[in-house]
Structure 1
Amino acid sequence: MAAEGKVLWLLGLGMAACNLTGARLGVHFALKRGSRFIRVVLLCVVIALVVKLAYDQFA
């Protein structure tokens, strides 16, 4: 779509704002709660992704 000149600027700005907000929250929690918290969150996200991919593949 972008090669044809059809860029969804409003969607892109919304995605950039959410990305910035998520990065700031991630840094805040990493500094406040430490690496153990980040490790647990990362493990939960990976497990959720594996479950979703397995469900999409086999269901």
Structure 2
Amino acid sequence: MQLYDTVELIEDIDNFKKGSIGVIGELYNDKCYLEIIDNKGETLGILYDVPLSKLHLCNK
């Protein structure tokens, strides 16, 4: 996964359900800072220290 990739949560994290879509805003070690977005691209929230293993890369 790379910076600005669109990803999907593969399990619930905090208030966001499995299947929520986000954009990677920062990568470090095996974790990232993730901006959760809606279908219009509006920010719904931010998740910090999200393990990459809990994300699935969306098709480009």
- Band the TM-score falls in, shorter-chain normalisation: under 0.3
More helix by share: 1
| Length-normalised TM-score, structure 2 | 0.19
Q: Which has the higher contact order (CA 8 A, sep 6+)?
A: 2
More strand by share: 2
